[in-house]
Structure 1
Amino acid sequence: MAPESTTTPSPGVAGLPLARPAGCPFDPPAELARIRERHPLVRMTYPDGHEGWLVTGHALARAALADQRVSSRYELTHYPMPGLEGIELPPAPVGDLTGIDPPGHTRYRKLLNARFTNRRMRLLTERVQQVTAEYLDAMDRNGPEVDLVAVYAHPIPAVMICELLGVPYADRESFQGYTATTASVDAAPEERGAAHEALQEYVRQLVLAKRAAPTDDLLSDLTSSDLTDEELTGLGSILLAAGLITTANMLALGAFALLRNPAQLAALRADPAIADRVVEELMRYLSIAHTVVRAALADIELDGHLIKAGETLTISLHAANRDPERFADPDTLDLNRDPTGHMAFGHGIHQCLGQQLARVEMRVGFPALFTRFPTLRLAVPPEDVPLYPTHQGIYGVHRLPVTWDQG
């Protein structure tokens, strides 16, 4: 028998709030906080008319993401962002483990977990330090005014994911061009689509090359598994996106946030050893992968409400990571805080696979940048820094013009 609701439903909301507060580029939409204060689980009307749910509370977000009766299959969900009304989402492409459930997800994840251990990612620290130093040297040569996204935040994770997957050095410039175009807000939709297709074809050919002549890299290692060429192509493409787009945006938006919080930046400059805590607090505070969408596979009771099978749940991670029930003074960037329990990398079986590599890149990248350039500052007024549209799944800085004093 299906559980009955034991709580009177809170008044619903007409769509997912997307508008961030004027002059506060790091804060979630203010309406999310008002909704969370009223109730952390409310009815929400989706752009296509579906009546689903919005989760804004930390505890309920964790519970929903950990529930095996909640599916990540794209074709079962209704999209909360405008623009896809009347379009049924297709199933996840082969190899895309983010849009499938067990047992298929378990098979992929088991193979990858064995190759993304914390120890293996920590061993990459020295190489991350070398790559970071190279780009800091290039910044120094090309400065004192540069776009931090183009010269630092994007290339460092791009080089690391290229090396991890075994992209030949000669191909890296074109490879990075494809990835930059797919994430660009300046590129036309057809340009982004063409870049995506070119990237998929590149990975497909790379898989064939690794099968024919394996080298010492992750993709070659996976060719010894039972994965098909199509599955390897899909997995490789997902790893590229997860290993590049999110970390690049965190490095850029995190630098922007620190530059706009001089007291916090001073703490990092005074003690680069606090980098671990800096990374976790920036992840919590910014929550760039801000929204997760799931579908109920069965009737579920959540906080006294009945979530019926087939209903979509939109889980607002940036609202959950600003929940005062979990974090004191949550709207303040506080590098002295212990932000343990944040969900910027997600939660449950779909928690970010590459989170340890991302942590290594940021733990090295933030203190190295501000140590090398102690006078680093914005080269434009903060309101002129172009940000990603709020309806995109990843939030970040499109360009970050910075300058410094040369001495």
Structure 2
Amino acid sequence: MHTNSLIELDRSAYQNNIGFLKKTFGKKVIISSVVKGNAYGHGVQEFVSMAFECGVKHFSVFDVQEAKVVKTTLTNKATIMVMGLVQDEDLEWVIQNDVEFFVFDKSRLTNAMKVAKKLDRKAILHIEVETGMNRTGFDKKELNAVITYLKKEEQHLTFKGLCTHYAGAESIANYYRVDQQIKKFEEIYAFFCKNNLKPQIRHSACSAASIMFPQTRMDMVRIGIMQYGLWPSPEVFVTYLNSKKNKTDPLQRVITWKSAIMSVKKVNSGEFIGYGTSFMAKRKMTIATIPIGYCHGYSRSLSNQGRVLIHGQRCVVVGSVNMNMMTVDITDLEMAKKEDEVVLIGTQKELSISVASFSDFSDQLNYELLTRISKAIPRKIIK
């Protein structure tokens, strides 16, 4: 475990976000907390513990390894759903522990039945259908066979959900494509019902779709980025604001990332800082070295342009971001010294550095930055 920085998770901010989401979606819609990618960098164990205490009872993960972490953390207190990878050797654990999972091809469907039959337990399935994402999901031509199989093996298979995923609901540029997906999903649902096979729930919405296309909320929404206090894109945020009289952001950022100054030194005018010649001092400068680099998740693309907060002021990253360190300009901060707090994401005094701001200085997405934060950095729940 690293001791060079700390991730803080704000419980009151998360409670605020969940409260907003519940009010927006209504009491009948289940909120599934998406915690793939180490809970978007927040730390699965710490985050799901906090989320459960805030009333969340359903969690979505990408693979079985993530499901096991949630299961170990919460035992049998919550529903766990695997949206992606379930290898054949993991099916027994999944079914034995009543973990729900997406099924999007024939081999997984038949293997799930065989293992369920062997264990004398029911596999809890969510049938994913292809509506236009062209990634995973049963094609329309396969649905008759799927329906026949689910009916035939109902003793071993529980048809819990019918689901799909939208291709870029966060951008108005994808409006037509997503609109067509919604229509196709409704047609597929009607086809299942016509064949006397109705899922317990329907779900298709991620954070972006839940705001941009309210009709996609259905019985359950799979909410990732918004529960962490961030918007999927500026377009989604603007769409929300335009629908309300109150033009304020209802979400609060859950994560804060802090470190401390490791050393301070003087650099003369005309000298280069760090590897190579990407930054030359144009005046006498004071440089602070921070023990954070790209191995911790602070992208090398932020070399010579990233920002951190020290003593409530923004300081620019100068030189290349190294594997374990980076240097920042503190020339105008005479009071700065070794071990002073450095905020990489979060608020210090009157200023903030948001996760979204990183995209201003690089081509990183919110999601990319967060999920790249090292798992070895300790996470702490505050408030």
TM-score range, shorter chain: under 0.3
**Which structure has more strand as a fraction of its residues?**
2
Q: TM-score scaled by structure 2?
A: 0.26
User: Which structure would you say has the larger Rg?
Assistant: 2
Greater relative CO, 1 or 2 (CA 8 Å, sep 6+): 1
Q: TM-score scaled by structure 1?
A: 0.25
**Which structure has more helix as a fraction of its residues?**
1
